[in-house]
Amino acid sequence: MTKITDNMRKYSSQVVDGVEAAPGRAMLRAVGFTDEDFKKPQIGIASTWANVTPCNMHINKLAEEAEKGANAGGGKGVIFNTITISDGIANGTEGMKYSLVSREVIADSIETVAGCEGFDGIVAVGGCDKNMPGCLIGMARLNRPSIFVYGGTIKPGYGHTDIISVFEAVGQHAKGDIDLIQVKQIEDTAIPGPGSCGGMYTANTMASAIEALGMSLPGSSAQNATSSDKASDCFRAGQQVIELLARDIKPRDIMTRKAFENSIRVIIALAGSTNGVLHLLAMAHAVDVPLTLDDFTEIGKTTPVLADLRPSGKYMMSELVAIGGIQPLMKRMLDAGLLHGDVMTVTGKTLAENLAEVADYPADQDIIRPFSDPIKKDSHLVILHGNLSPTGAVAKITGKEGLRFEGTARVYHGEEAALAGILNGEVVAGDVIVIRYEGPKGGPGMREMLSPTSAVMGKGLGKEVALITDGRFSGGSHGFVVGHITPEAFDGGPIALLENGDKITIDAETREISMAVSDAVMAERKAKWVQPKPNYTRGVLAKYAKLVSSASEGAVTDK
């Protein structure tokens, strides 16, 4: 056990030491503290448990394991809750506007509770998409010894299905390929129990990104939610945060520029979600590490896509777990000179030291391709600029959709109108579906366009149309899609001035997104444009809209 010293109680001592702290100690005795506990460093265990989603339904038990680990290490674990929402449930509805907002609420609540209660260290356990960056941002702001634990991935549903199978079934039904009974069968069996969505969607992307960043224990991102490995991961995290306290290793010591470069390379190799761009920008902002959209372009030029994982690929996260997770991939990337091995991690060792004894994948696996045969020779996360997005947009282009698309704009104000247009046959081959006023301010909240993109795929239009938006995409979205278009429509960006029939070109090789509309015509349209009234004038969405920065800056609220 790590030797406990007073300098490991920098914050809790302010709350419980001395006669003047007797009222506080009295309160804590009521929740189970003993005289001995007041001499221990307090470890806040931030749990995102809730029964609103399978991603988080089991996390109360994992938080208890982390508490046991902290106690076994010589500390005093204290569990507290923060919120979660479910994208899978809310997608396509007005409620989805709260999704990205929840990232800020989670970060704010962890900062608030830990800052108020004097926790010396933090373990945060997160499952669904926004939990992970929210936890990291909160821990980074506090800059106290901290570890993140991923709640783990879900097992596949019947017939190798997952939540995206259900979304795409809606489009297949609209096309007439399957009947209502078949939709019901997929609905009933696609989600078999606890854990985050099963492909390399946003949850698994962010879990992998955080492990690559060095803020999770090795292996944390690639464990099944209901496994003994995951319970052990939580216990060890509780113990290890005590060691971080003893050595005074804090998030800012780990979340360096080099660490973010490692994280970006790993999510590219894994064909991860476009949301990874948004969240890594926000996480870097929390520790004052300069990171821009252009960094994703530069790093992406020399980083191949190697993982054949859903949504664009074949395999699920549980199948990657079975062959060793992301540690062997990182070892390969380190050996190839693609990762910085000298960065510190929550183990108290460098990344290179963590990977030194990692065994390679089984010889017969085909989930992770060799460098000699990549799925794509450079990044699938393509940062686009042009007269349609002067300050940048984010595309997810694996090459399977093609690398260039030219079409005519079919413009919709909001996701619901676009989904109706796709399902009722209004959208046809050659269209560029434009969904606007869905940005961070305009929505507000930057909804994911999972329902429209899934409908496109279900209708068999995946290679026939493109979709662009100032909103964002689920990690489960695929097809020729471009999101995060900035400036957003609510701020009068060019996307607000598009009209039906305008010619649009998206070129992944030249990294351009442009419209064939002259500057003079655009000026005329801009002179007539009137900013819409805010959709919300009270409550959290109104506050968010007033505070939030551009998506090109991570959509942060404390810039």
- Catalytic residue list: 474
Q: Exposed/middle/buried for 19, CB within 10 Å: 0-12, 13-18, 19+? A: exposed
Q: Is 363 helix (H, G, I), strand (E, B) or coil?
A: coil
SS (H, E, C) 283-351: HHHHCCCCCCHHHHHHHHCCCCECECECCCCCECHHHHHHCCCCHHHHHHHHHCCCCCCCCECCCCCEH
Is residue 512 a contact partner of residue 505, using CB atoms and an 8 Å limit?
yes
Beta strands at 503-507 and 512-515: parallel, antiparallel or unpaired = antiparallel
b/e per residue 491-525 (b: at least 16 CB within 10 A): bebbbbbbeeebebbbbbeebbbbbebeeeeeeee
Beta strands at 512-515 and 466-469: parallel, antiparallel or unpaired = unpaired
* Ramachandran angles phi, psi of 483, nearest 5°: -125, -175
Handedness of CA 376, 379, 380, 382 (dihedral sign): negative
548 C-beta neighbours (distance < 10 Å), count: 25
Tell me the residue type at 42.
Q
| Helices then strands, each counted (H, E), the chain | 21, 12
Reference 326, options 301, 306, 304; nearest CA is 306
Is residue 8 a contact partner of residue 246, using CB atoms and an 8 Å limit?
yes
Reference 326, options 135, 87, 159, 153; nearest CA is 153
Handedness of CA 267, 268, 272, 275 (dihedral sign): positive
Show Cβ contacts of residue 278 under 8 Å, excluding neighbours closer than 6 positions.
Answer: 100, 394, 472, 484, 551, 554, 555
Q: How far apart are CA 430 and CA 300, in angstroms?
A: 29
Q: How far apart are CA 359 and CA 58, in angstroms?
A: 30
Reference 278, options 557, 508, 555; nearest CA is 555
SS (H, E, C) 372-384: CCCCECCCCEEEE
How remote is the C-alpha of 104 from its chain's centroid? Answer: 13
- Residue 424: its H or E element: none
Report residue 126 as tokens: 């997160």
* Ramachandran angles phi, psi of 58, nearest 5°: -110, 0
How remote is the C-alpha of 358 from its chain's centroid? Answer: 26
